[in-house]
Amino acid sequence: MKSRERVKRAIHFQGPDRVPISHAILPAAQLKYGQALQEILDQIHEDFGWHLLSDMKPEDFPPLYRKGKNYDDFGTLWQVEMEGICGIPIEYPFADWSNYEDYQWPEFDAGPPKARLYSGHMAGYNEEYYARGAWITFFEQMQQLRGMENLILDLAYRSKEVYRLRDDLLAFNLRWLDKWLALEYDGLHFADDWGAQNALMIDPVFWREFFKPVYKTMFEKVKAKDLDVHFHSDGYIIDIIPDLIDLGVDVLNCQVSVIGIERLGNEFAGKVCFRTDLDSQKIMPFGSPQEVRTHILHVFENLGTPDGGIIACGEIGPDIPLENIRTMYQTFMEYYY
């Protein structure tokens, strides 16, 4: 079975021959491990065409991964302490609303980047591989334009400016989506980290009022073209998972160990395909290879079904030992539904 068919069957519960595999490798891990990591990857059949993208040099990293202080295309200033690890924004275009009237929204092209990025952009259309494009955020982009503290206060006070920002950013994202949808992709990727360690960052009732219509508009545009919707969100987000499924999310990448593996399985296995998250707080960096293997099987057996529903994935950062990385991929390759 070709990779493209394998992924589609896993997403839509149509009986793939084995679990498909997706890489999630931070640039910092590639910088740290170099050829030793590549030798592990060379033994793995990844199903999204990761190898079709060229290697990236540190000077080519986007601003949020490039060490030092650098502006992105939106005009946000990023500070990165460690090369290849996402930094933090420290200056914002709309820190003062008085700057809003003269702001010029950037224009982005769509399609695969010139280099390999953790950001989720993958290779363009290839008959053999599943083509997943984009990495479109909304809540996070609002934070990066306005600043987290300012944005939270704006939302709490329901300021008229935050509604304008919401509507203008949605219009921007829809223009960008048009460019992605003009190309040949099987699915598009969206992302917003909505959870803290133990709760959603904002009240779920307000989330449904303010943000759910935004996702509905974007996802309907993608679904109208018969593409899959992929969504990533870290933290404790169980309150809005039913909403995400209702909105048409086909593939969900969430922090399963933070939310609870058994609870996720009991409530959502068979209702959405999980691009699996592994425990990056404890097991992957600090556990033994056997603990890594046991953990992966526990995740798969709770979140998958006999007909599919999982894409094997685990984030690789520079704190994950090579032996655990090797064990992770060996377990992926050996697993069948």
Q: Is the pLDDT of residue 119 over 60?
A: no
Cα–Cα distance measured from residue 60 to residue 16, given in angstroms and rounded to the nearest whole number: 37
pLDDT digits (tens, 9 = 90+) for 148-199: 999 999 999 999 999 999 999 999 999 999 999 999 999 999 999 999 999 9
| Per-residue confidence (pLDDT) for residue 263, from 0 to 100 | 97
- Local confidence band at 103 (pLDDT 50, 70, 90 cut-offs): very high
CA distances from 224 to 81, 123, 300, 301 (A): 42, 22, 31, 32
Residues 6+ apart with CB under 8 A from 171: none
Residues 224-236, mean pLDDT to the nearest whole number = 98
The CB density around residue 72, as the number of other CB atoms within 10 Å, is 14
Is the pLDDT score of 118 beyond 50?
Answer: no
Residue ranges per structural domain of the chain: 3-62+109-140+154-334
Say yes or no to pLDDT of 272 above 90: yes
CA distance 298 to 295: 5
Residue 44 main-chain phi, psi, to 5 deg: -110, 140
The percent of residues in the chain predicted with pLDDT above 90, rounded, is: 90
pLDDT tens per residue across span 122-158: 555 567 999 999 999 999 999 999 999 999 999 999 9
Closest alpha carbon to 313 in 237, 268, 261, 254: 254
CA distance 103 to 138: 18
Query: CATH for 3-62+109-140+154-334?
Result: 3.20.20.210
Q: Which residues contact 237 (CB under 8 A, 6 or more apart)?
A: 194, 195, 200, 254, 255, 259
pLDDT of residue 176: 96
Query: Whole-angstrom Cα distance, residue 256 to residue 56?
Result: 30
List pLDDT tens digits, range 303-312. 999 999 999 9
The rounded mean pLDDT for the chain is 94
pLDDT of residue 320: 98
The pLDDT assigned to 298 comes to: 98
- Quote the CA–CA distance of 280 and 278 in Å, as a whole number: 6
Asked if 325 contacts 30 with a C-beta cutoff of 8 angstroms, the reply is no
Q: For tokens 């030092």, name the residue.
A: 68
Grade residue 116 by pLDDT with cuts at 50, 70 and 90: very low
pLDDT, position 120: 45
Query: SS3 of 189, please?
Result: strand
Top pLDDT among 115 and 323 is at 323
